């Protein structure tokens, strides 16, 4: 816990100086007119628990009285030092100032959207209406569940295909022979593949095979493939019940997009397209 407290001291000193602390009934310490409350301390701990205040309370409860006093003292000392820096007119390092600025922007934007979202209609009726108006967006594309063995020559591919056709376990052959280490560890399994997600030669063969059939050798830029289609899935429109989680997500995105467009239209909003598209370009 001591190490955690030291890290907190270093990272939060500037934040205490830059932002007023939240008012709360239980004042734990004070430097000048600025107070440190029990709520502030829980918030600080929660930042080291993915924002989980309940976990922060558990962490605090597990601290000894000496650790609690040490924690409060170090946070208060950080505030003391930050105030001294302000009085001397110290400026934030540019990198730190930039990080604090964008942290604040992100926090405020999330808080704004959370408040606006409270007024969104996400009722079952609203989601059903959205689904009916955008049914074509909720489709399950044609796909094949395929596994493959990738080797570096046609001769090797024919040898591998022969082994698979002779009854050797495809997954074991893939684990032993395939140069695609990522899929080899999973017995060559590539999962569900839709059209357009792989190279044309592989796609053409994979989608021509019936479930349970072997195919290959097939040449691609990666090498030579031997494949087996495990399952096929036809393309179709999902029912509302099937698409419901996607509908809820899409409706929220629709509301968010509408709010952003409203704000863009009501204020000064400029994106320099030429500058944006030229980001990262090396100029002479």
Give the pLDDT confidence of 169-190 residue by residue, as tens digits: 999 999 999 999 999 999 999 9
Give the pLDDT confidence of 105-127 residue by residue, as tens digits: 988 998 999 999 999 999 999 99
Residue 153 lies in a domain: yes
Residues 124 and 260 occupy one common structural domain = yes
**Cα angle: 59, vertex 60, 63; to 5 degrees:** 90
Residues 143 and 129 occupy one common structural domain = no
Residues 229 and 268 occupy one common structural domain = no
Give the pLDDT confidence of 11-30 residue by residue, as tens digits: 444 444 444 444 444 899 99
Residues 231 and 255 occupy one common structural domain = no
Residue 114 lies in a domain: no
Residues 262 and 130 occupy one common structural domain = yes
Confidence of residue 164 (pLDDT cuts 50, 70, 90): very high
Question: Between residues 269 and 144, which one has the greater pLDDT?
Answer: 144
Six token digits for residue 54: 């309940």
Residue 148 lies in a domain: yes
Residues 232 and 242 occupy one common structural domain = no
Residue 64 lies in a domain: yes
Q: What is the pLDDT of residue 282?
A: 61
Six token digits for residue 205: 């063969």
Residue 260 lies in a domain: yes
pTM of the complete model: 0.61
Given the structure tokens 């280490």, which residue do they identify?
181
Give the pLDDT confidence of 191-224 residue by residue, as tens digits: 999 999 999 999 999 999 999 999 999 999 999 9
Q: Rounded to an integer, what distance in angstroms lies between the CA atom of residue 24 and that of residue 35?
A: 9
* CATH number of residue 156's parent domain: 3.10.50.40
Residue 82 lies in a domain: yes
Residues 197 and 265 occupy one common structural domain = no
Q: What is the pLDDT of residue 212?
A: 96
Percent of the chain with pLDDT over 90: 58
**Cα angle: 100, vertex 78, 104; to 5 degrees:** 15
Residues 66 and 197 occupy one common structural domain = no
Residue 100 lies in a domain: no
Residues 19 and 81 occupy one common structural domain = yes
Q: What is the pLDDT of residue 2?
A: 38
Residues 209 and 147 occupy one common structural domain = yes
What is the residue-averaged pLDDT of the chain? Answer: 88
Residue 208 domain boundaries:
139-236
Residue 104 lies in a domain: no
Q: What is the pLDDT of residue 23?
A: 43
Dump the DSSP string for 129-183. HHHHHTGGGSEE--EEEEEEEEESSHHHHHHHHHHHHTT--HHHHHHHH-S-HHH
Residues 232 and 245 occupy one common structural domain = no
Confidence of residue 234 (pLDDT cuts 50, 70, 90): very high
Strand partners of residue 31: 34
Number of domains in the chain: 3
Residues 42 and 170 occupy one common structural domain = no
């Amino acid at each position: 816990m001591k190490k955690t407290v030291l890290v907190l001291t270093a990272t939060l000193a500037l934040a205490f100086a830059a932002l007023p602390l939240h008012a709360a009934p239980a004042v734990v310490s004070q430097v000048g007119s600025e107070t440190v409350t029990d709520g502030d301390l829980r918030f600080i701990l929660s930042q080291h628990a993915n924002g989980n205040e309940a976990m922060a309370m558990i962490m605090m409860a597990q601290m000894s009285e000496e650790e609690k006093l040490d924690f409060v003292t170090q946070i208060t000392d950080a505030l003391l030092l930050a105030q001294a820096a302000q009085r001397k007119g110290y400026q934030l390092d540019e990198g730190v100032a930039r990080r604090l600025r964008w942290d604040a922007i992100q926090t405020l934007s999330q808080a704004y959207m959370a408040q606006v979202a409270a007024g969104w209609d996400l009722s079952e009726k609203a989601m059903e209406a959205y689904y009916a108006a955008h049914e074509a967006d909720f489709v399950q594309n044609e796909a094949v569940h395929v596994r493959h063995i990738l080797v570096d020559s046609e001769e090797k591919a024919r040898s591998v295909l022969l082994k698979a056709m002779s009854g050797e376990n495809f997954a074991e052959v893939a684990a032993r022979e395939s140069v695609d280490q990522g899929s080899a560890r999973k017995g060559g399994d590539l999962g569900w593949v839709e059209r357009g997600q792989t190279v044309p030669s592989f796609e053409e063969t994979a989608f021509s095979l019936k479930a349970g059939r072997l195919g290959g050798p097939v040449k691609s830029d990666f090498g030579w493939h031997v494949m087996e289609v495990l399952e096929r899935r036809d393309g179709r429109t999902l029912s509302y019940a099937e698409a419901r989680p996607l509908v809820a997500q899409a409706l929220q995105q629709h509301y968010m997009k509408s709010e952003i467009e409203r704000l863009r239209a009501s204020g000064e909003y400029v994106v320099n397209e030429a500058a944006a598209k030229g980001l990262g370009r090396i100029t002479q």
